[in-house]
Structure formats: structure tokens, C-alpha cells
Amino acid sequence: MEIVPYYGDEPLTPGSVQIRINPSDRKRARELLTATADITVIENEQTFTIARHALGQLKALLEEIEKGKKAVKKPFDIVIEAIGETARELWDPVMNEHRRIQELLNAHVKKLEEARKEEERKHREETRRLQQEYDRKIAEARESQARAEQQAREAEDEAARQKAKADAQMQLLRAANEQLAKEIALEASNMFESSKRGLVPGGRVDHNYDFELVDLPATIKAGSLRLLSWKIDHRACQEACQAQLKIDPNCTPTLPGIKVTRNLNVNVRARS
């Protein structure tokens, strides 16, 4: 997608725009800096007055520079707004369609996930049933083997003894076969789990969470401050300190859990 700004009939590039400072303003700033550089110490009323006057001139020049920046930015702000409006002609319909298709896909994949979960549940139940069935058959074979071995020990003649031994051997083989069948079934179950493919070919399914703070005291009481991010509201702190000073002008304002530092700052009116 290519969106190109034009100045007249020519494409506008960064190289075609030059930002300059009026030579007389640049000269005036340099002269002021040269003059204020001589102020290195304030020790009497005269130097105090000179410093105040210099600070006012510097402040006035800073205000001029800021106004100049805003003035030169204004046409570019208009251009930036025009770029946004132009792009929005395509952005809005494309974004709306993107959102619509996204919702359709989300709804469909949700159904696919539910179907897969149901399939997995049934598969687990069938695997568990097969395991129980194999375990039952293995237990039966071992019980039969134990009975046959007992019969062989208690047999009164050689023929009965040999028959019981043969029966015990057959039950041992039966138990081994059931154990092998159980292991094959478990291997097939593992292959089923590993063979599952992603639900979105060429993409992925993200499961994100949204969060909304509904009970701040409960979060704090649980000691879960790590779940929150904090920053100082300087205006609220300033108002709290002013309220304390209104009650007692000579007090040192304090705020719970916040270090309050009083800084001195001289403020003078801008001077031309």
C-alpha cells in the first residue's frame, strides 16, 4: 500500500523541506547568551537585579522559540491530519471487514475446539475402558494360573499334575498376550495425541485474557500488588499538601508512603 504526499505536482520528501531560523533571531539569541555568560555569581543587590533581568530575557526567548515551533508545526499538523483522513478512506472499511471476518473465524474455531475437547474426552474414556478391560483379563489369567499351579502341586497322579502344569502355562501365556495388547493400545493412544494438527493451518490460536479491576481493596488485602502498576498523581499530591498548609501554614506536609521534598524555584516575568 503506497500513500504519497505531494507538494503541487511533485512528491514531497524530507529532503525537499528545509527548516531555517531567521538570521536576526539567531543573532539576537547569541548576543543574549554572550551577555548572560558573564553572570557567574550573585552577591549584592546590583548583581541580583541583573540576574533577575537576564532570567526574564531568557524566559521570553524560550517562549518565543516555543511559539515559533508551534507556528512552523501547524501546517505539518494539518498535513498529518490530511494523511490520516486520506488513509482512513481505506482503513475504516478494511478494518471493519477484518473485524467481521475475525469474529467469524473466532466463532468457528471455538466450535472446533469444543468438538476436539469432546473427541479427546471420548478417546480418554475409551482408553480407560480398554485399560480396565485388559487389566481384568490379565488378573483373571493370573488367578487361573495360580489355581492351576496349586492343582499341579496337589495332583495325586502324574497325568493330572502334567495337565495342571500345561493349564498354568497356558494361563501365563494368556496373561502375557493381554499385557502386550494393553501396551499396543496405549501406544496407539499416544500416537492419536501426537498426530493432532493445529486447528488453523498457516496460523495459530491465541488464548488471551482481558482484565478489569473491580475491587482494589481486595487486591491489596491479598498482597497482590504485583498485579498492578502504580504512578504518583502529582496534581493530587500537590492538592493534598496545599490542603494541609491551608490548615497550618507552618506545617511540613506529609503523605502516607510518599516522600515529600520541597524545592525552591525562582519565577520571574518574561522580559523583552
Q: With b meaning 16 or more CB within 10 Å and e meaning fewer, what string describes 107-132?
A: eeeeeeeeeeeeeeeeeeeebeebee
Q: What is the pLDDT of residue 196?
A: 64
Q: How far is CA 11 from CA 6, 14, 174, 185, in A?
A: 4, 10, 87, 70
- 0.75 exceeded by pTM: no
CB 221 within 8 A of CB 125: no
pLDDT digits (tens, 9 = 90+) for 229-250: 889 999 999 999 999 999 999 9
Q: Kind and range of the H or E element at 126?
A: helix 45-154
Q: Kind and range of the H or E element at 239?
A: helix 234-247
pLDDT by residue for the chain (272 residues), tens only, comes to 777 777 778 887 887 888 888 999 999 999 999 999 999 999 999 999 999 999 999 999 999 999 999 998 888 888 889 888 988 998 899 999 999 999 999 899 899 889 888 988 888 888 888 888 888 888 888 888 888 888 888 777 888 878 888 888 888 888 888 888 888 888 877 776 666 667 777 788 888 888 898 998 999 899 998 999 889 999 999 999 999 999 999 999 999 999 999 888 878 888 87
Q: Locate the domains of the chain by residue range.
A: 6-12+21-192
Q: What is the pLDDT of residue 192?
A: 67
Q: Give the span between the Cα atoms of 149 and 151, in whole angstroms.
A: 5
* Rg for the chain, CA atoms, rounded: 43
pLDDT digits (tens, 9 = 90+) for 29-55: 999 999 999 999 999 999 999 999 999
Handedness of CA 74, 80, 83, 85 (dihedral sign): negative
